[in-house]
Each structure stands twice: as structure tokens, then as C-alpha cells.
Amino acid sequence: MTKAIKKQALGRGLSALLKDPENDITSVEDKNADKVVGNIIELEISAIEINPFQPRSNFNEESLRELATSIKELGVIQPITVRKLEFNKYQLISGERRLRASTLIGLTHVPAYIRIANDNESLVMALVENIQRHDLDPIEIALSYQRLIDEIQLTQEQMSERVGKKRSTIANYLRLLKLDPIIQTGIRDGFISMGHGRAIINIEDLDIQTDIYQKIVSQNLSVRETESLVKNYHEGLKPKEEGKPKSESSFVIRETQKNTFNDYFGAKVDVKVAGNGKGKITIPFNSEADFNRIIKLING
């Protein structure tokens, strides 16, 4: 199937602005700083250095080649983030895999968000204002939410207060970023809706995701039909028990019920149920702050 890829409106003019030695932007107080904060800019790869304190040092070569192939076909969907060190010199904050993969296929420029000194609050305001726009597609909104998490360390509860959206709504947008890049592009281009994406994301296998995406587009399936397709896929994965009567007290945890836990706690919750109807719920956390966040949710 031929895919029409929508080109992002990248800041090529802003790139020239940053390379003007007479207009070097080092602070949010500087002239034209508002044009940089929160915007996507085409940046020369040669001007970017890897963060020496980057904790990740090993990259799976096969995974990197797969990403490079995806970038060659679709472009860099999620821009990298860099910190401005001095004139025309930047240090990578996030997106090293994307940068390495782009270099692997010979790209000379990558789309980037540029952080400058004391721009924290300005960036928050720029992103919140961007999220409130009516012409954004769901993936663009999701990427803005993800930036607030990655760069400003806002929790989903804090974002909820800032943007006036329910925490569950924010979680639903963020989950879209787990979709295969081809499907994300399909949402951005309007081939499928956010509702289609939310149905597909219940499948972890990216190859199966793209197969279902192709069926949606080629057969013009509705969201309800897509949900049915996903349900049938999961039903087909269940082992068939022959001649073994089910315990009257046993029951099946539906995927939608699991997702309710995932969305509420902002984590991948493990729910298991035994044949006698008893079970357990495991909620993972990444840090003390994340643990306290979950306690606060439980306590209401």
C-alpha cells in the first residue's frame, strides 16, 4: 500500500537564525528566544555531541538497523532533544538511538528541540499552549505530553492540572507512542483515528499491529470493527482446554480491565487470577517518587 507521508513543518529558517553569530541565543531573555523554545528545528548532526554522562552505552545493532530502515522510509517521527552549549554547538539530552540511526543512513540533519539556559518555565508554557491548539493530530499531542515528562519531569497528575485534561486522557494519548512508527504516521496522516490506534495498541506484537493497520485502511474498518478484530486475535491466542471443566469460581480478566489499571496507575500492572477465583495485582514503580505517586492514587 502506498503511504502518503506528511512532512513536518521544520524550522529551517530558525536553523539559520541559530547560526547567525550576531544573534547568538543563550537565554530566554535574548532576542528571538521565543522562536526557539518549544519549536522543531533542523540541526546539523556534526554540531551535536553525545552527553558524556549518558548512562546507556550499549545499543543493539539489529534494533538500530531496524530503526534506521524506519527512519529512511518515514523520517524521524520524534525529534531528538539537545542542550545549547555555545555558538553552533549542542549536547544531546535524549534520542541517542534516533541520532545514531540517522547517522547510519547518512543523514546530515535531524529534527531537534533545543533547550537553552533558564528556559524551563518558558518551555512548559510553550508546550501547554501547543497542546491546547485545535489543529494538532493525536501523535503531536502525545509527543508534547512525553516532552513534559522527559524534560520537565512533570507527573501525569501535574500535567492534568496544567493542561486541564483528565489524567486518564493524558495516559491514553501517551499510549499511542507505543504503536509501530508506521501506524503513528497513519494517525498523523489521517488514515486512521485515535480510536483505531487505541484498539490496536492492545496488541504487543508490532508485526501483528501493522497487519491489522493494513486491514483497517484497505477495508475501511470502523473503530468498533477494529476492536472486534483485536478481540478475535486475543481469543485465538488462548489455549483450548479439552475435557477439563472450569471451576465455577474462576473468571477471565479482560484486556480492557487490565488497561483500566494501566491507565489509572500510569504503569504496566500485572493482574493474575487462579482457577479458584483468587488472584493478585502487581503494580511496578521506578523510584521512591513514583512509589509515593502510586500511594497517593490509592489513598485518593
Rounded Cα distance, 267 and 259, in Å: 10
* Whole-number Cα distances in Å, 235 to 197, 230, 252: 19, 9, 12
Catalytic residue among 44, 96, 140, 157: 96
Q: Is 117 helix (H, G, I), strand (E, B) or coil?
A: strand
Rounded Cα distance, 184 and 188, in Å: 6
Cβ 255 vs Cβ 203: under 8 Å:
no
Rounded Cα distance, 272 and 135, in Å: 41
Rounded Cα distance, 142 and 164, in Å: 15
Rounded Cα distance, 31 and 84, in Å: 16
Residue 161: φ, ψ to 5°: -70, -40
Bridge partners (DSSP) listed for residue 271: 281
Return the C-alpha torsion angle 256, 260, 265, 266, nearest 10: 50
Active site residue 86: no
Q: Which residues are catalytic?
A: 96
